[in-house]
Chain A
Amino acid sequence: QKEVEQDPGPLSVPEGAIVSLNCTYSNSAFQYFMWYRQYSRKGPELLMYTYSSGNKEDGRFTAQVDKSSKYISLFIRDSQPSDSATYLCAMTAPGAGNMLTFGGGTRLMVKP
């Protein structure tokens, strides 16, 4: 079993839909959580960073962490075709040094 599980998709939604992307993890030591967005043939770019349970909002994006369930989510409101990309979750634990553990990524397609 992988430490971080993420549905690879593809997830296809119409423009304007609310998108929910999810990751589950098994290591209860993970305390810091990130979402990266990766456009085709580009490097991942940091989208959201959070270290506590609950919600963090940034524009159309909301990151949610539920440590008791070992479950994190990224919500995208009013999705746009420009949101079409692969979304990677990543996480790390205190004392893990600089190492991130990544999910495999979910490919999202937003259709106009």
Chain B
Amino acid sequence: DVKVTQSSRYLVKRTGEKVFLECVQDMDHENMFWYRQDPGLGLRLIYFSYDVKMKEKGDIPEGYSVSREKKERFSLILESASTNQTSMYLCASSHGAGTQYFGPGTRLLVL
């Protein structure tokens, strides 16, 4: 079974802090994704990566950056957290144009 793990289930940070969210997948998938999920807005793509050191902006990249130094690991960085970044963050991975497999999510609260 594909396993996608995220570093934290719940996170509380203060405004202005730098926040790192990590995602690891164990199926050698080349594609990895970061989404945020908010009530009424559904899943919105922040960034995705189709190879090591490659990244592409999704629909809402502002305020976020990503890093993919190894194939299995994809990090989402909030350079200076703001209250409007309070959300559920979901990581996913896929092989080719196949289905995406999601991690359990990180609930981030920015105070």
Interface footprint category on A: 20 to 34
Residues of B within 8 A of A60 (CB): none
A98 lies within 8 A of B96 (CB)? yes
User: What secondary structure prevails in chain B residues at the interface with A?
Assistant: strand
CB < 8 Å A-B pair total: 48
Residues of A within 8 A of B (CB): 8, 32, 34, 36, 41-46, 49, 88, 90, 92, 94, 96-100, 102-105
Q: CA separation between A102 and B41, bound complex, in Å?
A: 10
Known contacts A41-B105, A41-B107; is-contact A103 B42 (Cβ 8 Å) = yes
* Supplied contacts A36-B102, A44-B102, A98-B100, 17 more A-B pairs, CB within 8 Å: A32-B97, A34-B99, A42-B104, A43-B103, A44-B43, A44-B90, A45-B102, A46-B99, A88-B42, A90-B100, A92-B97, A96-B97, A98-B33, A98-B48, A102-B42, A104-B40, A104-B41
**CB of B24 to closest CB in A, whole Å:** 14
